[in-house]
Amino acid sequence: MALHALQDVDDAIEATRSFLFPPRIGRWLKLALVAFFVGGSGFPTAQFNAGSSIPGPSDPPSSTPPGDLPTSIPDDVLPFLVVGIALVILVGIVLGVIGATMEFVLIESLRQRRVVLREYLSDRWRQGLRLFGFRILIGLPVAVLFLGWVGLFIASLGGIIDPVIAFPTFLVGLAVLILLGILFAIVDTLTTVFVVPIMTMTDAGVLAAWRRLWASIRVAWKQYLAYLLVAGLLGIAAGLLGSIVTGVVAIGLLLPVAVLGAIVYATVTFASTVGTVVLALLVAVFLAAVFVVWLLVQAAIVTYLRYYALLVLGDVEPSLDLIPDQRAAIRA
């Protein structure tokens, strides 16, 4: 049995090359913006840290009235802290929704071979909300278990829980956390690379698209397992290659910045106000340029990996082929 995950590695390179070259500045910049949101996990996390004073066996009884519990946070700081946490959560939700919607923008861009952000965002934001909600749903148990595991560890260190009981529980919790984390990673990956295209093609919800994918996985599970293994290796290789390219370009950009810095030092010195301002501007321009280069590299990597997934999905399940014309052109 031929494994499409191996056969489609080179085809994805050709699909990426034909889409990105000859380079068009507008297309690359738009894809860089999309890659900024989808290049990561796409799953927003909110961490809550609370501190409290818990009396131990040797502590004297607290004289604080029951309605006035002691706290290490001043009353005048607490409102700002609450507002700050609320803002962080709100920003995380907004970025998560945008990232989920950008998944559909990316697939539409590769499918139609044109990048039109406003049109795709307008058409797919509802599905983006559904995808975001699904990511929260599958990620919440992992987050809760992780917080509980950390709490158990802290409690054992603080002597709140007997170490004889805490240690084996800690190890069992760690094993469960690792297994659940692996399961979450698999489900999240399959959702991103296969369920999102199915949703795009059929205008279905997440669960309906997952049912369609699951029916295919039950029949061709070896193909999907091979994809997970090969895609993982490709992701690592692409990440290393992207880091090398970005590093080389950064070194190339650093040379003219260093020359300009030397000129500024020789003329006005960095100790002066003008020298400090010029130096700050040089550093800011350099960091901004490196960031843009990194985004462009990520755009190419994300394009390749998603084309690879689309090719595998179409080969395993021809009825779910989103890019039949591109596939035919590549293999003609």
Query: In this model, does residue 264 exceed pLDDT 70?
Result: yes
The single residue listed with the structure tokens 């170490």 is: 163
As a whole number of angstroms, the distance between CA 223 and CA 13 comes to: 20
Helices (H), the chain: 4-20, 25-38, 78-112, 117-157, 163-190, 196-202, 206-219, 221-267, 273-316, 324-331
Which residues lie closer than 8 Å to 159 by C-beta, 6 or more apart?
56
- The pair phi, psi for residue 167, each rounded to 5°, is -65, -55
Q: Which of residues 143 and 53 earns the better pLDDT score?
A: 143
- What does DSSP assign to residue 66? T
Q: What is the pLDDT of residue 174?
A: 85
The single residue listed with the structure tokens 């996990």 is: 41
Q: Per-residue pLDDT averaged across 232-259, rounded? A: 94
What's at 121, amino acid-wise? L
As a whole number of angstroms, the distance between CA 184 and CA 190 comes to: 10
As a whole number of angstroms, the distance between CA 127 and CA 209 comes to: 11
As a whole number of angstroms, the distance between CA 152 and CA 170 comes to: 7
Question: Which of 45-59, 137-151, 164-178, 296-310 has the least mean pLDDT?
Answer: 45-59
As a whole number of angstroms, the distance between CA 246 and CA 253 comes to: 10
Q: What percent of the chain has pLDDT over 90?
A: 65
pTM: 0.83
pLDDT digits (tens, 9 = 90+) for 191-205: 999 999 999 999 999
Angle between helices 273-316 and 324-331 (to 10 degrees): 90
> For residues 292 and 32, is the Cβ–Cβ distance under 8 A?
yes
Other C-beta atoms closer than 10 Å to the C-beta of 289 total: 15
Mean pLDDT (the chain, rounded): 86
As a whole number of angstroms, the distance between CA 160 and CA 57 comes to: 10
- Give the side-chain half-sphere CA count within 13 A for 265: 7
DSSP string, 164-228: HHHHHHHHHHHHHHHHHHHHHHHHHHHIIIIIHHHHHHH---HHHHHHHHHHHHHHSHHHHHHHH
- Give the side-chain half-sphere CA count within 13 A for 170: 15
Q: What is the pLDDT of residue 81?
A: 85
**pLDDT classification of 5: cutoffs 50, 70, 90:** very high
**pLDDT classification of 47: cutoffs 50, 70, 90:** very low
pLDDT digits (tens, 9 = 90+) for 126-162: 999 999 999 999 999 888 888 888 887 777 766 677 6
- The pair phi, psi for residue 12, each rounded to 5°, is -65, -35
pLDDT digits (tens, 9 = 90+) for 17-29: 999 999 999 999 9
What's at 15, amino acid-wise? A
